[in-house]
Amino acid sequence: MSLFELSRTAKAAGFLTHSISGKLQGMELPRLPRFKRASTVAPIQLTARDQEIIELIHRYRFLRSSHVVALIGTSAQHLQRRLQLLYHHGYLTRPRAQLDYYHKGGSRPIIYGLGNKGATLFRNTGSVAYHNLDWNEKNSSTGRIFLEHALLVSDIMVQLELACRKHGQIRLLAEGQIPLPESTRLQRQPFRWKVKAGGGLSLSVIPDRVFALEFLTKAGKKEQAFFFLEADRGTMPVIRKNFSQTSFYRKLRAYEATWSQSLHRRRFGFNRFRVLTVTTSAARVKSLVDACSQLKRGHGLFLFADRTILEKPGDILSSLWLTGKKGETATLLN
């Protein structure tokens, strides 16, 4: 029996106390490398909890260990130990780009992505493009800019999921849970589309995430509110003179055109939708709202907030967001 298994068994039998940390009956537990898989590691037998961890990281793409602890809601020490073993056994990866954070000093939660062994768990579901894809390398070698953007998306979605659980009467639907017309559902990328925005220009739309909030109205009727998420790290110009160049205003125009042409009804079966944008600062929010006010119509489609909305003790569902109409606010359920 390995030291890890012996420790776990002894704890379950009541022979060890919580004061033992990193030692077992006077023997030091081996310290595993942080960003290189160990050649020898304690054996592991996947549990239902392990599979829940892997499924969460598959769904979110990248999660901090603190995200996993918040979502699963059990001992942080135990979960971090399991995450460590799942990494060293190849079920998870640790993106190398996060090394930059540790070189700056201080302590940060480790970031995890899906590994090859983790991907095999979804091989028969069609939810992971498994064939000819090295998930270990794909997620380990992710660049810092992409990783930081993906983590902002995860920050937002984790807060939404926790808020829905806390509320108890609202269900968060991820992309794969949203009912779609068959013609759209069978497409390789159902939430990627093109729309004509005038002047012969066709714009591509790829939201950072698509989700729905399902709840009961006062009359007891089930309703779903649909959202396209944009996680804005402030790196994209807000407006450019040349509309053919990438800008956030161009994204706003694409969503406005989608709504004006009722493309959301035909493609997704949505009666309505909103575009949720979380950005870096209050000043950036103001710039985005100013740009949104230049649209001819559809200002109420858009909700804006800076990332402090993720740090407030209040519920993200009841927090006020700025709309595209200057001075107006709304909650996600308005």
Helix/strand/coil for 188? coil
* Mean pLDDT in residue range 202-223: 91
Is residue 45 pLDDT above 50, yes or no? yes
Average of per-residue pLDDT values in the chain:
84
| pLDDT for res 132 | 56
Residue of 107 and 42 predicted with greater confidence: 42
Q: Counting Cβ atoms within 10 Å, is residue 104 exposed (0-12), middle (13-18) or buried (19+)?
A: exposed
Is residue 258 pLDDT above 70, yes or no? yes
| pLDDT for res 23 | 38
| pLDDT for res 126 | 53
β-strand 302-306 against 274-279: which pairing, if any?
Answer: parallel
CA separation for the pair 330, 334 (Å, rounded): 6
* Mean pLDDT in residue range 153-182: 94
pLDDT band per the 50, 70, 90 thresholds, residue 295:
very high
Is residue 127 pLDDT above 60, yes or no? no
Residue of 17 and 83 predicted with greater confidence: 83
| pLDDT for res 256 | 96
Angle separating helix axes 282-292 and 248-260, nearest 10 degrees: 50
User: Given CA atoms 145, 151, 155, 156 in this order, what sign does their dihedral have?
Assistant: positive
